Amino acid sequence: MTTSKKSERELASKILSKVLRDKGFHFHTGMGAYTGIYATSLEQFSQLLEKVDLKSIEFHMGRTDFENWVRSLGDQVLALQLAKLKKKNPSGENLRREVLAIVKKRLDDLKRDLQHGSGKS
């Protein structure tokens, strides 16, 4: 059990860590239409989802960019959750709310894992 708790903490720590700007998530509203907004951590990504242009969320969700970025952070669980959401095809503010709810729930789970090394990952 100790090894499992340690590995859960290590994975949570890796996923929650900041990345360099070039490895961050850069929000666009379309091809070649960079918003100038980027996130260098999952926490910051969550905060930006609340206020970034809805067109950006729709653009990136359609291209699986969110899934790919969180996977690059080491988070297969969140990537799969986002893939499932994409299949449901939500749109508009409903899309923003659902993406945000999934990301915030995952953040809470990761923070708990980091503190306790327990819970589901």
pLDDT value, residue 3? 56
pLDDT tens digit sequence for 11-35: 999 999 999 999 999 999 999 999 9
Instruction: Find the distance separating the first CA and the last CA of the chain, reported in whole Å.
Output: 14
Rounded to two decimals, what is the model's pTM?
A: 0.90
The yes-or-no verdict on residue 113 having pLDDT over 70 is: yes
The CA distance from 16 to 14, in Å, is 6
Residue whose pair of structure tokens reads 């091809």 in the numeric block: 31
- pLDDT band with cut points at 50, 70 and 90 for residue 2: low
- How confident is the model over 75-111, as pLDDT tens digits? 999 999 999 999 999 999 999 999 999 999 999 999 9
Rounded to whole angstroms, the maximal C-alpha distance in the chain is 48
The residues, any chain, with a CB within 8 Å of residue 98's CB and separated by 6 or more, are: 85, 88, 90
